[in-house]
Amino acid sequence: MSTYAYLGPVGTFTEAALHKITTSDDQRLPFANVTAALEAVRQGRATFALVPIENSVEGVVARTLDELATGDPLIISGEVTLPVSFALMAKAGTLTIRRIATHPHAEAQCRNYIAAHYPDAEVISTNSTAAAAEAISRGEFDAAIAAPIAATHYGLEILEDNIGDTAGAVTRFVLVTKPGILPKPTGHDRTSLAAFIGRDHAGALLEVLTEFAVRGVNLTFIQSRPTGRELGHYHFIIDAEGHINEARVGDALTGLRRICEDIRFLGSYPRADEQAPTSTQRTSDEAFAESTQWLKAVREGRAI
């Protein structure tokens, strides 16, 4: 049995994603925001935390990226993807909707619907979609945009389902824990890290990208985030195909460590989509081993 912290309250998309990787024996602890869920792991109150990191429509969850890049180190040990759909819900008998509560990411994915059907409504931001539904159950606002399951949890009536502007939206969640033994390579892995540039200069990003490109490591995600030190000072959150135990990925990270002020390794873990990395014969582990043996032979005078 393990203890899992997650972005709550009950009825969030995060809880639905968590059910995909836990059993009835596991303990699930809802927290009001991403920071609190991750702190529960840092403080030893939970072994894992599941938090959203990216949505196919709205993009990154900035708070998750920032929390992973700062504070006591945590690593990602797995990921989960979940299709997301939204419903407009209210207390039974609600006739007038002037204030709609929801999470900012949900609002962004239902913007056209709100403009078309409730152009004069005020949209109230909440920590999660389920928190919006919970607030409606207490009578704080008129309606909420949340996961359909939230209506069941909080005794609300669904006024309209599938109100998202883009069909097929998917959210990626990461399973986070304290540093320790890494998951073994599976052949369909992702490696995440935060790269801190010491001094901003022309070509800084190109230097970072080159370390991956010359070794044939494909990047699936790169996002700049402010470090908080001063205006214009940024670091990069990077997702790369492959596992740190693979020669080309490990070599890329050692090269990156030489040119950056700091690197925070955020984990190597199986991809939820089980997609194998792009690779060529010259970037295989065998090719790296062969070139290493060649260099050794040259240094020992056995080859030219």
pLDDT digit string, tens, across residues 172-189: 999 999 999 899 999 999
**pLDDT tens for each residue of 52-100:** 999 988 889 999 999 999 999 999 999 999 999 999 999 999 989 999 9
What band does 37 get if pLDDT is binned at 50, 70 and 90?
very high
Q: How far is CA 124 from CA 105, 142, 192, in A?
A: 12, 10, 33
For the domain 1-83+164-180, what is the CATH code?
3.40.190.10
Handedness of CA 250, 256, 258, 260 (dihedral sign): negative
Q: What is the pLDDT of residues 115-158, one digit of tens each?
A: 999 999 999 999 899 999 999 999 999 999 999 999 999 999 99
> Higher pLDDT residue, 65 or 295?
65
Mean pLDDT of the 206-215 span: 92
Residues of the chain with CATH 3.30.70.260: 182-304
pLDDT of 162 > 80? The answer is: yes
- Cβ atoms 255, 183 nearer than 8 A: no
Q: CATH 3.40.190.10 region(s) of the chain?
A: 1-83+164-180, 87-160
Q: Tell me how far apart the alpha carbons of residues 132 and 121 are, in angstroms, rounded to a whole number.
A: 15
Please give the pLDDT value at position 5: 98
What's the pLDDT at 227? Answer: 75
In angstroms, rounded to a whole number, what is the distance separating the alpha carbons of residues 124 and 68?
27
Provide the pLDDT for residue 157.
Answer: 96
- Note the pLDDT of residue 280: 62
pLDDT reading at 110 higher than 80 = yes
Report which of residues 279 and 8 the model is more confident about: 8
Sign of the CA dihedral with 35 first, then 16, 160, and 58 last: positive
Q: Which residue has the higher pLDDT, 31 or 294?
A: 31
Reply yes or no on whether the pLDDT at 200 is more than 90. Answer: no
Q: Is the pLDDT at 103 greater than 90, yes or no?
A: yes
- pTM for the whole thing? 0.86
Fold of 87-160: D-Maltodextrin-Binding Protein; domain 2 (3.40.190)
Which of the four CATH numbers 1.10.340.30, 3.30.70.260, 2.60.200.30, 3.40.50.720 does domain 182-304 have? 3.30.70.260
pLDDT computed for residue 281 by the predictor: 63
Per-residue confidence (pLDDT) for residue 304, from 0 to 100: 63
Q: What is the pLDDT of residues 216-238, one digit of tens each?
A: 999 999 998 887 777 767 889 99
- Write out pLDDT tens, residues 246-266: 999 999 999 999 999 999 999
